[in-house]
């Protein structure tokens, strides 16, 4: 079976939201990852790590919120190794996957290696070199997936708007991301950005600050606001060890994302090691309404109104 040629979405499409040197840092991470997927044992260790386990579970359990299974066309943004696209490609109902990232090392070298090691249905996977801030798709994807990618956005509203545009009416965005409580002040977040990343030598071969690789500390309200302004219906699920210990899949299916003003915070009940759970604190599910949604004209959306 023939595979798709790589698409270059960066050519002719302008993304002003790429931080200088951020792509180089990601290239370094992705070169290191080539070793992680160098053979089946190393890949198995990566895929069964506590973090990967959590992220796979989010992808599986998002179907409870969506009340449907994965099918049709999927767009993965910030795919990195593309492990998620590789796994999704084996689902019979999935016809095509755009597996995209703005780092050429990942798209050209890492993704094919990972597809091979994980036994992906590569003929369904279309690799694309592109930024999630400038996507050339409109009303095409049934699902957009972000595994730890959205928090790298330099403009969450622009990224959400692009994902919204790429989705068919009724389509879904599924994201698993770190987030911080709304009680964090700007100064507290600023201090985090200015801290040295302790893992930076290993990941990037040099010392970096947290802000340099475009890692963002978005608060829960910021994700939700950006998604609402992009016209999504939003279902945010927050996880914390102090959260509701009787949480289960029914909570996801009921879409009880909040109780009045308070977010419904759940114990990370599907973590691999419950005694010492490793998890992303936000599972963000958002749907493009069937009628295309409406713009409320709130100032936050950046859309002016003409009377
Ligand atoms: C934390 S990594 C997650 C990678 C992958 N999804 C995974 O689960 O292993 C974030 C990824 O987002 C990509 N990324 C960051 N900003 C991007 C942008 N503006 N457009 C496309 N990809 C971006 C990075 O290159 C990196 O691969």
pLDDT in tens, 130-139: 999 999 999 9
> Does 176 contact ligand 1 (Cβ within 6 A)?
no
> Does 162 contact ligand 1 (Cβ within 6 A)?
no
- pLDDT(206) > 80: yes
> Does 152 contact ligand 1 (Cβ within 6 A)?
yes
Looking at the whole model, is its pTM more than 0.75?
yes
Q: Other CB atoms closer than 10 Å to residue 9's CB: what's the count?
A: 20
pLDDT score, position 2: 63
Domain range list for the chain = 20-292
pLDDT score, position 299: 75
Q: Looking at domain 20-292, does it have CATH number 1.10.10.10?
A: no
pLDDT tens digits along 246-271: 999 999 999 999 889 999 999 999 99
Q: What is the 158 CA–ligand 1 centroid distance (Å)?
A: 16
Q: Give the mutation target among 51, 102, 159, 215 for probing the ligand 1 site: most ligand atoms within 8 A of CB.
A: 102
Question: Residue 36's pLDDT band (boundaries 50, 70, 90)?
Answer: confident
Q: Give the mutation target among 78, 160, 178 for probing the ligand 1 site: most ligand atoms within 8 A of CB.
A: 78
- pLDDT(287) > 90: yes
Q: What is the mean pLDDT of residues 93-110?
A: 98
- pLDDT(1) > 70: no
**Mean of the per-residue pLDDT values of the chain:** 94
Q: Give the mutation target among 101, 114, 216 for probing the ligand 1 site: most ligand atoms within 8 A of CB.
A: 101
pLDDT tens digits along 143-179: 999 999 999 999 999 999 999 999 999 999 999 999 9
Question: Residue 204's pLDDT band (boundaries 50, 70, 90)?
Answer: very high
pLDDT score, position 14: 78
Q: What is the 38 CA–ligand 1 centroid distance (Å)?
A: 20
Q: What is the 78 CA–ligand 1 centroid distance (Å)?
A: 3
């Amino acid at each position: 079976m023939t595979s798709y040629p790589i698409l270059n979405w960066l050519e002719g499409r302008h993304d002003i939201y790429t931080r200088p040197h951020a792509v180089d840092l990601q290239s370094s991470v992705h070169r290191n990852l080539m070793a992680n997927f160098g053979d089946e044992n190393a890949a198995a260790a990566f895929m069964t790590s506590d973090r990967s386990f959590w992220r796979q579970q989010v992808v599986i359990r998002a179907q409870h919120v969506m009340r449907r299974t994965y099918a049709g066309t999927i767009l993965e943004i910030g795919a990195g190794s593309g492990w998620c696209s590789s796994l999704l490609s084996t689902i019979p109902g999935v016809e095509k996957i755009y597996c995209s990232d703005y780092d050429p090392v990942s798209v050209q070298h890492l993704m094919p290696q990972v597809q091979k090691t994980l036994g992906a249905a590569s003929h369904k996977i279309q690799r694309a070199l592109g930024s999630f801030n400038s996507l050339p798709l409109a009303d095409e994807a049934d699902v957009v997936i972000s595994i730890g990618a959205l928090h790298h956005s330099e403009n969450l509203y622009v990224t959400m708007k692009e994902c919204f545009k790429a989705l068919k009416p009724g389509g879904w965005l599924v994201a698993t991301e770190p987030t911080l409580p709304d009680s964090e002040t700007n100064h507290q977040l600023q201090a985090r950005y200015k801290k040295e990343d302790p893992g930076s030598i290993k990941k990037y071969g040099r010392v970096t600050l947290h802000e340099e690789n475009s890692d963002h500390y978005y608060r829960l309200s910021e994700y939700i606001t950006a998604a609402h302004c992009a016209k999504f219906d939003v279902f945010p699920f927050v996880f914390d060890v102090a959260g509701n210990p009787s949480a289960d899949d029914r909570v996801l299916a009921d879409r009880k994302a909040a109780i009045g003003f308070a977010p419904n915070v759940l114990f990370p009940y599907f973590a691999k090691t419950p005694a010492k759970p490793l998890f992303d604190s936000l599972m963000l599910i958002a749907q493009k309404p069937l009628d295309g949604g409406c713009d409320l004209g709130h100032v936050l959306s950046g859309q002016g109104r003409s009377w």
